[in-house]
Amino acid sequence: MSEETKNIPEKKFRAGPISATVWRNLTEKGSYASVQLSRSYKDASNAWKSTGSLRINDLPKAVVILNKAYEYLVLKEYGSEKVYEAESLAEIEAMM
């Protein structure tokens, strides 16, 4: 398996400077998803940078996009029909 096919960015959710990237990780045993949370900012030289550190005002945006990433993964993996049939978050999590 080549380096290029190991990790594939599948979907990106953004709210202002905060983003959550869903990665599809391919292994010899199959694939799995992971989510990377980051905050974009401009440094002193006006160049764009990224960090995993969040400020207190970033937390509500992080919650929103992490929920969107979670919803995307659950609906993709289990199909929307099963999720909409569930009556509670516990039932959705039990499907996983």
Q: Can you tell me the distance from the alpha carbon of 13 to that of 70, in angstroms, rounded to the nearest whole number?
A: 11
Q: How many separate domains does the chain show?
A: 1
What range defines the domain where residue 68 resides? 3-95
DSSP state of 58: G
Write down the pLDDT at residue 77.
Answer: 74
Per-residue pLDDT tens digits for 42-83: 999 999 999 999 999 999 999 999 999 999 998 887 665 555
Contact 39, 54 (CB under 8 A): yes
With a CB cutoff of 8 Å and minimum separation 6, the contacts of 34 are: 22, 23, 25
